Each structure stands twice: as C-alpha cells, then as structure tokens.
C-alpha cells in the first residue's frame, strides 16, 4: 500500500500482522533508486513477482523485484 506522506510503500503480511517498507526509505523523499517522492499507485505483476510504483513527484514508474530494497526506473 502506498504511504504518500511518508514517501514509502509498505508490504503487509497477513500471517504475522507485520509490515515492512519496500524499495524506499521511510520519511525520506528523494530521486535516487532507493527513494520515492509521493508514491500514489502500485501494480503487482504476479507473473514475475514485480511491484510497479507510480512515483508521482519524481515523474517515473519504479519496478521493484521481489525483496528488492531499491527500484529500477522503467518509465519517466
């Protein structure tokens, strides 16, 4: 789920009721591969376990592979 105000995307586990930050640093906006700046939407591709993030203020789409802590810009 995107957390725009904290510039992060959280992955939640229904088994453990925990959440962790994905492909970003919470409360740190920026333009590098491990930062987001107001993420707004996400899409999960189940075929390759990739997460796509609309990184609004950076005007880009970031792709994050399973368990990655930084994204790859696939569109800007």
Q: What is the pLDDT of residues 1-27, one digit of tens each?
A: 566 677 778 777 778 877 777 765 666
Is 71's pLDDT higher than 90?
no
Output the average pLDDT for the chain.
81
First to last CA, the chain: 21
Q: What is the pLDDT of residue 66?
A: 73
The predicted pLDDT at position 47 comes to: 92
Which pLDDT score, from 0 to 100, does residue 41 have? 92
- Please name the residue that has the structure tokens 């789920």: 1
Is residue 60's pLDDT more than 80? yes
CATH entry, 2-75, from 3.30.450, 2.30.29, 2.40.10, 3.40.50:
2.40.10
pLDDT number for residue 25: 61
Q: Find out whether 9 and 37 touch, Cβ atoms under 8 Å.
A: no
């Amino acid at each position: 789920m995107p957390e725009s105000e904290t510039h992060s995307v959280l992955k939640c586990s229904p088994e453990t009721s925990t959440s962790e930050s994905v492909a970003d640093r919470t409360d740190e906006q920026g333009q590098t591969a491990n930062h987001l700046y107001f993420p707004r939407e996400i899409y999960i591709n189940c075929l390759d376990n990739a997460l796509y993030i609309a990184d609004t203020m950076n005007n880009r789409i970031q792709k994050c592979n399973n368990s990655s802590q930084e994204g790859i810009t696939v569109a800007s």
